Structure 1
């Protein structure tokens, strides 16, 4: 999974990441204590002991702090998740297991997911790698594995298929957040079954 890993950052980048993490951690503590809607950017800057200009330089809105927190959580969790699902017999079962774990995480963070998703949709045109969640890389990696072992059809690039899957994932997540349908785990299961039917190699 070397393509999912990045090279070690330099000292300046490490300092920048420490600042981002500090701001996001401070905001998260406030969100958990007071509720997302009640927390202002001014309060976050005050508790983080930084100038408001510093906070706004890195995070223009509260939702951007959520993005940083959630994307960091995914990056930190991925090695253990991949190790856990690696022993499953097929990539199909690995995809199901990954989305089941994602559903568990989403249940725990439901109170914050709608503002996060709305913000992510508003910046869909932004191509910066650091603003992406990394789900596209996870899906690409697993689909590429499935193609390599003969599980999945080869006539579409894994990156394209991962893009399709990510938008299906988003549709299911939004449906669940708007209180439509069944549990998120069940909805993910149904969606993935439909997607995988189209991904299987023709007989």
Structure 2
């Protein structure tokens, strides 16, 4: 995930940006605790502000709606787990096996967060094509991750060249989302199997 952040002389986020991030993390963590204790629908923005001991204006300055708090929590959680996951996947001999491993991990993560994924996905889709979509922290980084896998496969000769990795990554991201939405609306489905199907279609087609 690439973020454009103000930096100090050491190349790290500046003091003001670090403070903003700390406040955002505190608000998102407070909201998450309330969601788990009372359920997403029952928690109000006012309750989150009170529990976080901030003015309502401070909360709304960082997050306009509850779903934005989910987005921040999820994206931070995924970003923190990514280095270890990529290190684990790098030991696999082929890019296809790494992609399969990533999809398995993603299915496990989604199962653990299922109660909140509908709200998260609905909110993320509402941001598509809006100026807000380009702001720092809005993206999960999934498209960039898929592009890096595909580029590695093209470089090694495992995947054919001819289409830019970023374009192929977008196609794969939409297939990923389609499987996720299908699973969210049909609770009896096996998400591991759904992800396996879309990855197979992406890699081998339907012929």
Aligned to 1:166: 173
What are the superposed Cα offsets for residues 68-88 of structure 1, whole Å, 9 maximum, x if unpaired? 000001100000000111011
Q: CA RMSD in A?
A: 1.6
TM-score, with structure 1 as normaliser: 0.93
Distance in 1 between the 2:135 and 2:3 partners? 17
Equivalent residue for 1:15?
19
Cα distance in 1, alignment partners of residues 124 and 20 from structure 2: 22
TM-score normalized with structure 2 length: 0.91
Q: Report the alpha carbon displacement of residue 181 of structure 1 after superposing the two structures with TM.
A: 6.4
Which stretch of the first structure deviates more once superposed, 51-60 or 127-136? 127-136
> Which runs of no fewer than 5 residues in structure 1 stay unpaired?
199-203
Structure 2: gaps of 5 or more residues: 5-10
Distance 2:128 2:19 in 1: 27
- 59-68 or 5-14: bigger deviation: 5-14
* In 2, Cα distance between equivalents of 1:90 and 1:181: 32
Q: Which runs of structure 1 show a deviation greater than 3 angstroms over 4 or more consecutive aligned residues?
A: 3-7
For the 8 Å contact 2:142–2:173, the answer to whether it is kept is yes
State how far apart, in whole Å, the 1-side matches of 2:28 and 2:89 are: 29
> Does the 8 A contact of 1:140 with 1:158 survive in 2?
yes
Measured against aligned partners, the alpha-carbon deviations of 1:146-198 in whole angstroms (never above 9, x if no partner) come to 11101112111111111111111111000000016631011000100110115
